[in-house]
């Protein structure tokens, strides 16, 4: 979640004023279909109970 969502959001938010000043910039977001395997586990957001790297990846892409 931090890498696949918050990191991109923060970078875009920081660069947006410069892109708007340039009047020619754009933001292109590329993702994957891994969000399809994602389920947000609100009772275990930090994967402290049952960790699965693929399900954690899917959850981060779903965000």
- Which residue out of 1, 35, 38, 57 is catalytically annotated? 57
d(CA 3, CA 39): 17
Domain range annotation of the chain: 2-62
Query: What pLDDT score was predicted for residue 47?
Result: 86
**Cβ(1)–Cβ(63) below 8 Å:** yes
d(CA 42, CA 29): 26
> Is 13's pLDDT higher than 90?
yes
**Cβ(34)–Cβ(43) below 8 Å:** no
Instruction: Assign residue 23 a region (left: φ > 0; alpha: ψ between -120 and 50; beta: otherwise).
Output: left
pLDDT digits (tens, 9 = 90+) for 24-45: 888 888 878 888 888 888 898 8
57 is catalytic: yes
Which pTM was predicted? 0.56
């Amino acid at each position: 979640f931090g890498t696949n969502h918050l990191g991109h959001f923060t970078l875009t938010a920081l660069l947006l004023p410069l892109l708007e000043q340039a009047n020619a910039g754009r933001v292109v977001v590329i993702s994957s279909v891994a969000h399809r395997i994602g389920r947000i586990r609100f009772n275990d957001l930090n994967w402290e109970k049952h960790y699965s790297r693929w399900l954690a990846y899917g959850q981060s892409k779903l965000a």
